[in-house]
Copies of this chain bind each other. A is one copy, B any other.
Amino acid sequence: MSVCEARSLKVENILYRGKSEFQEILVFESSIYGKVLVLDGLVQLREKDESAYQEMIAHLPLCSIPSPKTVLVVGGVDGGVLREVSRHPSVEHIDICEIDKMVIDDPRVHLHIADATEFLRLAPEGKYDAVIVDSSDPVGPAQELVEKPFFETIARALRPGGVLCNMAESMWLHTHLIQDLISVCHQTFKGSVEYAWASVPTYPSGVIGFLLCSTAGPPVDFKNPVNSIEKLEGALLRELKFYNSEMHSAALVLPSFLRREVSEVNLQRRQDKSARSSY
């Protein structure tokens, strides 16, 4: 987090202030964005635009595969990602791995208060159709969630052709970090690796990115969702504020500067491969 840009929100009313074993928690009512959740001083969610992030991080992976059944959510203490995953009637079992306690009342959901890396190391190989990593910013407890060993444990826990969606920073502020993430994921995931982004005013620079990866197996075309959200009925569909099938495909379209950065990674990869194969 840079100190070269600061943003401030007017606090109308503090609703909750407390400290868990791992972080300081603050919830306040703001004047234009509704309720705001702050962890360790960093704004995580605002009522007005939380849906954009949570819908995209859940439906981008779950709509990219037919009938997801078993899903792991890493992080997501606020419950928003869980709410979105639950919309999918095909889902039978959701593990959520959090370091902090939370209250849940969906019988499909199994809460594990655990360190994610440890939890994944112990998970049965090939258990999950999808893994969603809703990590907070990569400082403090979430730091190891952007490193290669963590992605390797995820790839192991996914079935062939299973998918990962991982929060992946801002294209305006962290292009080098995004290049590194893509490069690491290409080494780990032998299916597809794609970058997507969405407009979320809450986050610095107003966008947040997602890294979508699939393991070797049935091919996954992230650009064209096979499991259309529009088949949901009634409130399950009506309540969606941001995600729709067209938005899914549009999220994978990159501005020219980012497209070039991503091509550089892919070029480097091909060169490394052909160098290796010529030994």
Q: A270 on the interface (CB 8 Å rule)?
A: no
* Residue contacts A-B, CB under 8 angstroms, 15 given: A2-B32, A5-B8, A5-B9, A5-B32, A7-B7, A49-B172, A52-B255, A199-B205, A201-B206, A241-B256, A241-B257, A242-B255, A244-B256, A247-B254, A249-B250
Q: How many Å lie between the Cα of A3 and that of B9 in the bound state?
A: 9
Contact with B along A242-268 (1 / 0, CB 8 A): 111011011001111101000000000
**A235 at interface (Cβ–Cβ under 8 A)?**
no
What interface size band does chain A fall in?
Answer: 35 or more
- Other-chain contact of A172, B10, B201, B257 (Cβ < 8 Å): B201
Interface bits A144-177 vs B (CB < 8 Å: 1, else 0): 0000000000000000000000000001110000
A197 interfacial contact with B, CB 8 Å: yes
* Chain A residues packing against B (C-beta within 8 Å): 2-10, 30-33, 48-49, 52, 171-173, 197, 199-201, 205-207, 240-244, 246-247, 249-250, 253-257, 259
CB–CB B242/A253 < 8 A: no
Chain B: CB-nearest residue to A206:
B206
Q: Tell me which of A10, A171, A172 has the highest count of chain B C-beta atoms within 10 A of its own C-beta.
A: A172
Give the complex CA separation of A3 and B249 in angstroms: 35
Query: Among the listed B2, B173, B207, B246, which residue makes an inter-chain contact with A253, where contact means beta carbons less than 8 Å apart?
Result: B246
Residues of B within 8 A of A173 (CB): 32
CB pair B259–A244 under 8 Å, yes or no, is yes
**A278 to B247, alpha carbons, bound, how many Å?**
38
Shortest beta-carbon contacts, A-B, top 10: A206-B206, A250-B250, A250-B253, A201-B205, A4-B31, A242-B255, A4-B10, A241-B257, A246-B253, A6-B8
